Amino acid sequence: MKIILDTNVLISGIFFSGPPSQILKAWQKGKIQIAISKEILSEYHRVAEELSKKFPSVDISQILELFTVHAEMVNTQELEVLVCEDPDDNMFISCALGSKSKIIVSGDKHLLKISGYQEIEVLKPRVFIDNHLN
C-alpha cells in the first residue's frame, strides 16, 4: 500500500510517539510505501530544521535521508492541482495523483475537507492505523 504523509504527520512521528510514530515504524518495516515529491521533501526539510532547533537532541538528518533514498519520488511538475483552501496543501494531492496513491495521512483540516477528491481518502493517523495497519 502506497500513501502520502502530510508534513505534520511526519514531524509528529519523528519528534513524538503515538500514531504518527507507528506509521513511520510500519514504513521502516516495509509494511507500507510512502511517496513524496520534490516539493514535499523540501517542506519536510524546512519544517524539520525549524523543529530541530527546539529539539537539538533529535537527529533528523538520518530520517530525512531515509526518505530521500527509500520513498518513491514522484514527478508532479505537470500535475497542477488547485483544490485546497490552503494552496500549500495542493502538493499532497498532486503527489497522490502522480503516484496513484489513494490515501493521504493528515490531520490538516483543509486536506480532510477534500477527502474523496479523485477517490483519494484523507485519513487522520489513528484512523489510518485502525483501518489499514491493524
The residue that leads in pLDDT, 57 or 116, is 116
Please state the pTM of the whole predicted model.
Answer: 0.91
Domain count, the chain: 1
At 94 the pLDDT is 93
Query: What span, in angstroms and rounded, lies between the C-alpha atoms of 92 and 102?
Result: 11
DSSP code, position 1 = -
pLDDT digits (tens, 9 = 90+) for 2-14: 999 999 999 888 8
Domain encompassing residue 28: 2-133
Structural contact between residues 45 and 58, judged by C-beta atoms closer than 8 angstroms: no
**Contact 94/104 with Cβ under 8 angstroms?**
no
Enter the DSSP assignment of 133.
I
Q: What is the CATH number of the domain that holds 59?
A: 3.40.50.1010
What 3-state DSSP class applies to 72?
strand
